[in-house]
Homo-oligomer: A and B are copies of this chain.
Amino acid sequence: MDYYPEPIENLISEFAKLPSIGKRSAERLAISLVFEDDDKVNSFIEAIRLVKSTVKQCTICGNLTDGEICSVCSDRSRNGKLLCVVESVKDLIAIEKSGEFRGKYFVLGNLLSPIKNLELSDIVIDKLKNRVKDGVEEVILAISPTIEGEMTGIFIKEVLKEFDVVVTKIASGIPVGGNLEYFDGDTLFKALEDRREI
C-alpha cells in the first residue's frame, strides 16, 4: 500500500536505486526535497546534468575527466614508467589522496569474478598491453587482496608475460594504527611473511 502521493513513491524508488541508499534514507531524501527551496533543487538537478554532459572516463587510463585526457595522464611531471593498476576510479582517488604515488594509472573497471560472471574484456586487456608496451618498467597491482583480486592479479601477470616488465603488488598486512589482535590468521601470516628489516 502506498502511503505517499504517487510522485513521492516514484522518487523514493528512484533514490533507492542509487548505491548505499536504503528504503528509509530514500524516504527521508524524497521528503526533504519537497521542503527544499526551488533554487536549491534546481542547482542539484543542474549539477547532475553537468556531470552527465561533461564528465567521461579518460581515454588513456579510465580516470574521470571533464576533458579528453585526465589531470594525471596530462601531468608531465609524473613518472610514466610506473603504472599502477586499480579496479575502479574510487581506488585511484584513494591512492591519489595518500599523496605518495607519482606514477600513472590504469583503471580495470572490474575484477575477474567467476561468481558474478565477470571477466576482463579484450578491449581492456589490449589497452593495458599497449600502455605497457609504451615504456612502462613496473606494473604495480593496487588491487584489494580478496579472492577476485588475487585471481585478477595472477591473470594480469600472465597477460604481461611477453613484455619486459616487473609486476608487483601492494603489501598485505596490518593497517597502520590497527590492533594486531583483531586481524585474522591469513592477514597475520601475510604480515609475518612480508616482514621488513627496520
> Copy number of this protein in the oligomer?
2
Q: Are B64 and A5 in contact (CB under 8 A)?
A: yes
Taking beta carbons and an 8 Å cutoff, which residues of A are in contact with B? Answer: 3-8, 10-11, 14, 17-21, 25, 27-34, 38, 40-41, 43-45, 47-52, 54-57, 64-67, 70-71, 89-90, 93, 96-97
Complex interface: chain B residues within 8 A of A50 (CB)? 7, 10-11
The residue that A48 contacts in the complex, of B4, B28, B41, B51, with Cβ under 8 A, is B41
Q: How far is the CB of A21 from chain B (nearest CB, A)?
A: 8
User: Quick check: B47 and A7 within 8 Å, CB to CB?
Assistant: yes
- A47 x B3 contact (CB < 8 A): no
Question: Is there an interface contact between B64 and A11, defined as CB atoms closer than 8 Å?
Answer: no
The 5 closest A-B pairs by CB, nearest first: A5-B66, A11-B47, A14-B47, A7-B50, A14-B44
Q: A32-B19, A64-B31 are in contact. Are A3 and B96 (CB under 8 A)?
A: yes
In the bound complex, residues from chain B placing their C-beta under 8 Å from that of A25 are: 20-21
Q: How distant is the Cα of A31 from the Cα of B67 in the complex, in angstroms?
A: 16
- The complex places the Cα of A65 from the Cα of B4 at a distance, in Å, of 8
Contact A7 B41 (CB under 8 A): no
Q: In the bound complex, how far is the Cα of B14 from the Cα of A14, in angstroms?
A: 17
